[in-house]
Amino acid sequence: MFSFAVSATCGRARTGRLTTPHGDVDTPAFMPVGTAGAVKAMTVRDLRDAGAQMILSNTYHLMLRPGDGVVADLGGLHTFGGWSGPILTDSGGYQVFSLSDLRTIDEDGVRFRSHLDGSAQVLTPERSIEVQMNLGADFIMAFDECPPYPAPREEVEAAVRRTTRWAERSRAAHRRSDQWLLGIVQGGVFDDLRERSARELIPLDFPGYAVGGLSVGEPKPDRDRVLECLDPILPAEKPRYLMGVGTPEDIIESVARGIDMFDCVLPTRNARNGQLFTSRGRLPIRNARFRRDPRPPDPNCACYTCRTASRAYLRHLHHAGEITAAILMTIHNLSFYLDTLKRIRQSIALGRFQELRHDFLAALTAGEDDADGF
């Protein structure tokens, strides 16, 4: 039911295809984030129209509400949410580790207080896998410990050891053949710990590997160096997923270092906050200079928003507090991200990725926050 094949490379960048029980995914791929089983301000139809192939949902949030048992009883996440394409669920680890004032960690797992009602909860590798099996996503994640940044080396080293042990328990607990369970490499910004984590996980023979614990505040040169360190170590025949990254420029730089899959809340969150991603940089639609601007957000974009709405209209909707503002700007931001990934895939197949990379980054730098940049 599953397969992954790389069809072309250009330097370290690669394009290929993931085959899943719910359809194919062309890589490199970006997954819109549907935390509670829905991508904010987007219907399934909107996601399809924007070009989404696969979405991400959150184990922690769905476990608490409506409950993974409820989702299972109603046919799993695909039926429950009406999305027929591939889905990835994270392990819930990042969310509970971010609740530093509400949780305690030991070898068994994590004990924490629900952010909804303060009720006591326990999440272990076995429970995380149980929840994800109930949700029924195509790709699920091993439970890991994600240390903060910055963190002392000894704390990161302990998290690497625990991540390996929890990966072994996650592997043992997983019993669904219609899911791919991915391992997560930790190690902070310490190259030797990253290499150790990867080499400890590879013998577990996960069908794919994620790089976790980045995009948590570390400098971008450190992130890029970590990816360069892992590129020759992670199995080339298996997909690689960089968790929680990032901006369009982050994505293109990570593709250049061998990454196949991405997710991030930025395109949806920034849309709700009035910031649009364009081929000439970010557009802060709240600014007064757009009050009479009749142009679309990005004249180079063919999304529904750019075909039908002016900057002036979007600014008006945003300042008026209209929900339509979030909808239209989310459609644009996700369309821009997904179209960017499509262009990346095409450039790799044609052997022109480095040219696209140079031109794309140069355009962003030249036009950042420039309303007259087009």
Active-site annotation, residues: 90, 263
DSSP helix, strand, coil percent of the chain (3-state; round to 5): 45, 20, 40
Dist CA 159 CA 164 (whole Å): 9
Dist CA 336 CA 313 (whole Å): 19
Contact 59, 90 (CB under 8 A): yes
**Residue 253 phi/psi, 5° resolution?**
-70, -30
107 C-beta neighbours (distance < 10 Å), count: 8
Contact 183, 142 (CB under 8 A): yes
Dist CA 280 CA 259 (whole Å): 24
What DSSP designation does 203 have?
Answer: G
Contact 86, 138 (CB under 8 A): yes
**Residue 201 phi/psi, 5° resolution?**
-85, -30
CA-closest candidate to residue 81, choices 136, 131, 142: 136
**Residue 204 phi/psi, 5° resolution?**
-75, -10
Antiparallel, parallel or unpaired: β 55-57 and 29-31: unpaired
